[in-house]
Amino acid sequence: MRINRKEIKRRARHVVKRHYFLLVALCLVAAAIGTEFTGSLDFLKIPSGEPVAVETANAVVTGQPTMGSVIVEALDGRSDESKKTAEELQKQAIRNTEERSGAVILGRSRGVLAHLVNEISSGALLATVITAVQSILGSVRMTWIVFIILSVLLFCAVNYLFINIYTVISRRMFLESRIYEKVPVQRLVYLLRVKKWMKVSWTMLVVRFFQLLWLFTIIGGVIKYYAYFLVPYIVAENPDISAKQAIRLSQDMMCFSCFL
């Protein structure tokens, strides 16, 4: 049975009304982690003419301490300076909390949890780890190299195991919202339950790799963006499918077979 555009729009509105908060939450998380819909959070950006932006710029110019300063000082072997900078940041956070001029959640002065929050937010915890690694390696240069390598590996691991996976999970929940009256939040970990998390991670990594290669051609990047558009939906319905099969099926469904 063929469905006209008017009926499709009617059904879509019905699905959105029925699962409004769930769908909005999924989109906001996607925008926050940068997978898609990133333009949706533009309204949170502070206009350049606001006083807060001026204060932030002045902080950079005048060299006020930041978490990055703590880490760089630790990497350069200046552990004492790093410790002092971290303590200054913690004191400033506590003052902001007491004066209600900063984040009330951070910079609390009492309790074990408050101490842990201060250690992490100021960079003191990471600086301590860096100092320990540096004492083992005995070289500032090697510490920088290890830090850069671990940062790259961490970035790749997060993208491989979580960012790419979230695209598939959100597609699964979008598809289920069309059918079921209720879509439980536990569906966010359905790939763990079916033991296909690593399989899907690999499939999406292969797809991203192919898309990256096509970007080096003249128009291949644009063409393959749409040719691979349905891959997350296909993988969401069949997590056990291979990357090659998912790509082939997506191209067939998007009528891009002629570009193979």
Q: Are residues 57 and 74 in the same domain?
A: no
Q: Which pLDDT score is estimated for 209?
A: 92
How many whole angstroms separate alpha carbon 247 and alpha carbon 260? 11
Name the residue among 175, 150, 186 with its Cα closest to residue 234.
175
Same domain, 194 and 258: yes
Task: Based on the fold, state whether residues 173 and 244 are members of the same structural domain.
Answer: yes
Do 86 and 122 sit in the same domain of this protein? Answer: yes
> Does 55 lie in the same domain as 102?
no
Residue type, 49: G
What is the token pair recorded at 154?
């961490």
- How much is the pLDDT for 85? 86
Whether residue 181 sits in one domain with residue 100:
no
Number of domains present in the structure of the chain: 3
* Pair 116, 172 in one domain: no
| Residue 7 domain-assigned (yes or no) | yes
Asked if 35 and 87 sit in the same domain, the reply is no
Tens place of pLDDT per residue across the chain (260 aa) = 577 888 888 989 999 999 999 999 998 888 888 877 777 666 555 454 444 443 444 444 445 678 888 888 888 888 888 888 888 887 777 777 766 654 444 445 565 566 777 777 778 888 888 888 888 888 888 889 988 999 899 988 888 888 889 999 999 999 999 999 888 888 888 999 889 999 999 999 999 999 899 989 888 888 888 899 999 999 999 999 999 999 999 999 887 544 44
Q: How far is Cα 65 from Cα 72, in angstroms, rounded to an integer?
A: 11
8 is in which domain, residue-wise? 1-64
Residues 55 and 118 both lie in one domain: no
**Domain end call among 38, 64, 90:** 64
239 domain-assigned: yes
Separation CA 75–CA 148 (nearest Å): 11
* Whether 51 and 79 share a structural domain: no
The full length of the chain comes to 260
Domain boundary among 24, 49, 64: 64
Distance CA 26, CA 24 (A): 5
The per-residue pLDDT for 149 is 92
pLDDT given at position 232: 93
